[in-house]
Amino acid sequence: MARKPRVDIPGFHHVFNRGTGRSKIYKSSEDKEMFLEILCKACKTYQVTLHDYCLIDNHYHLLIETSSENLSLFMRKINADYAIYFNKKYKRAGHLWQGRYSSWYIEDPDYLSATFRFIEHHPIKAKHGQTIGEYPYTLLAALFQKQGGLVPCTAGSKLNAEVNDKEALERLKTPLSRQEIKVLKTWQKNPVTADGKRPRQTKTISLHSLFKACTELPKRNEAILRALENGYTQGEVARYIGISSAMVSKIFRRSNSTVQSGIN
């Protein structure tokens, strides 16, 4: 069977990879620092901005922004150079990675915001801390420390501004709700095409049907969550019921008990 083509267009991409057989790809802090060094060199070579990252012992998550159609070349360089370093250091042979890499193109602001939160909360899910910024191998931790942990390829990251914005930081500290995780999975399962467009999902129920009997606020909020679960965007829901997208987002964030189970 032919391999599924990667979306390789300029913009934001969430990239993930793990060790073959879920084996460790980082056995020491030195390994993680070397990976970041290799990553940063590749960012400079391929003109890529690193917006966020999380390095766990057997896998990584990256949030990057490409300026040209070079994601595949960029990732090939990182994975190959690090595998050479790792195999030489630990006197091993064979594949380090379980495969190429997984990537998801992000064109929606809500999707981008959710991805930042997913990555920064991922160490908590992996039992490497209780709060965001505590585990050292994320960008937020490096920004909090304001020490040598900052790598130059993150200079253009959107997190730089959010660290100094109290409201934005509070949003970032809020774990993804069950509803948000469902929507994040829906975005990942409904990838964009090569032209950067995400196919429209077939809606199983109309907005009119969802909201026609909602005369009270709790019922309306429940209908908002059902609409989002059925594939409508926050903007579509907001326009239909005549409220702001920010209000829909607020209802969305506080809707369910927070859940740390997630993706990958």
64-120 per-position pLDDT tens digit: 999 999 999 999 999 999 999 999 999 999 999 999 899 999 988 888 999 999 999
Bridge partners for 106 per DSSP = 12
Q: Residue 264 and residue 140: Cα distance in Å, rounded?
A: 21
For the chain, list residues with pLDDT below 70.
1-7, 146-150, 190-204, 255-264
What Cα–Cα distance (Å) separates residue 95 from each residue in 74, 223, 264? 18, 48, 20
Alpha-carbon 2 to chain mean position: 27
Which amino acid is residue 239, in one-letter code?
A: R
Can you tell me the distance from the alpha carbon of 20 to that of 39, in angstroms, rounded to the nearest whole number?
20
Cβ contact 103:71 at 8 Å: yes
For residue 23, report the phi and psi dihedrals to the nearest 5 degrees. Answer: -75, 165
What was the pLDDT predicted at 262?
44
Provide the 3-class DSSP secondary structure of residue 123.
Answer: helix
| Burial classification of residue 126, based on how many CB atoms lie within 10 Å of its CB (0-12 exposed, 13-18 middle, 19 or more buried) | middle
Residue type present at position 72: S
Distance CA 264, CA 258 (A): 18
Rounded to a whole number, what is the largest CA-CA distance in the chain?
Answer: 68
Q: Is the pTM of this model over 0.85?
A: no
Answer whether 184's CB lies under 8 Å from 106's CB. no
Domains of the chain: 11-173 (3.30.70.1290), 178-253 (no CATH)
> What pLDDT does residue 46 have?
96
In this structure, are residues 253 and 180 in contact, taking their beta carbons and an 8 Å threshold?
yes
Q: CA–CA separation, 112 vs 184, rounded Å? A: 10
Copy the structure tokens of residue 19: 């060790």
CB hemisphere CA count around 128 (13 angstroms): 18
Which amino acid does the sequence have at 191?
P
Q: CA nearest 183: which of 257, 263, 123?
A: 263
Give the pLDDT score at 263.
46
